[in-house]
Amino acid sequence: MPLPFADDLATILNVDEFAVAVTYDGGTINGIFDNETIPVDAGGYAQIHQEQPRLICRTIDVPNIGEGEIMVISGQTYVIRAWVHNGVGETAIQLEKS
């Protein structure tokens, strides 16, 4: 018996709850946007920090996702660099600020 994860995901990805509207592929999808700053070893004694923008969305909203495509989130343009479908209806997308 499948879990009712799709119902939970619809609630989580509601823009009145946790999600933001994202312009993608000529339309709008909803997703959870995170722009965590992570430490990066640049060699030597000091680490630098780099933004790592990421979007979590429904897999059915990005069925033909491709590297180099564009997403606009809160007025900022991002380029899709990588993605992972988790097998339960979510896709995590690594973005790069354009």
β partners of residue 53: 35
Tell me what pLDDT residue 3 has. 53
Task: Give the containing element (helix H, strand E) for 56.
Answer: strand 47-58
Tens-binned pLDDT, residue by residue, of the chain (98 aa): 455 666 678 788 989 888 999 999 999 999 999 998 888 887 777 788 888 999 999 999 999 999 999 999 999 999 999 999 988 889 999 999 99
Answer whether CATH 1.20.1540 is correct for domain 5-97.
no
What is the residue-averaged pLDDT of the chain?
Answer: 89
Tell me what pLDDT residue 5 has. 66
List the domain boundaries for the chain: 5-97
